[in-house]
Amino acid sequence: MKKTDLEKTKALKLMGKLNAAQPPGRYAGAAAPDRREQRRLDQAAGLVAFPVKLRQPLIEALRAKADADGVPVNDLINTLLENALKA
């Protein structure tokens, strides 16, 4: 085996080990649930996915209001829609 082939094999082994290693936990080590688990949690909470297309300025305003109020965007939109439908 040539020296270059040996080096290529070493590099492939190293890359395989790096790809197999688990990534560090995000958000201070708290692991986020996978999609299936998140779907199950959402269903238990009575949440249903409802995709809607909105204009960018409205989305930015919603995110800013959610940050100012300290609530998630989903909760803010849910509250705003409930109030609008009651009126």
Residue 59 pLDDT: 93
pLDDT digits (tens, 9 = 90+) for 43-55: 998 888 888 899 9
Grade residue 76 by pLDDT with cuts at 50, 70 and 90. very high
Which tokens belong to 12?
């492939």
Radius of gyration of the chain (CA): 23
Contacts of 63 (CB under 8 A, 6+ apart): 73
Q: Where is pLDDT greater, at 64 or 1? A: 64
Residue 26 pLDDT: 57
Tell me how far apart the 2 most distant CA atoms of the chain are, in Å.
Answer: 79
Indicate if the pLDDT at residue 18 is higher than 60.
yes
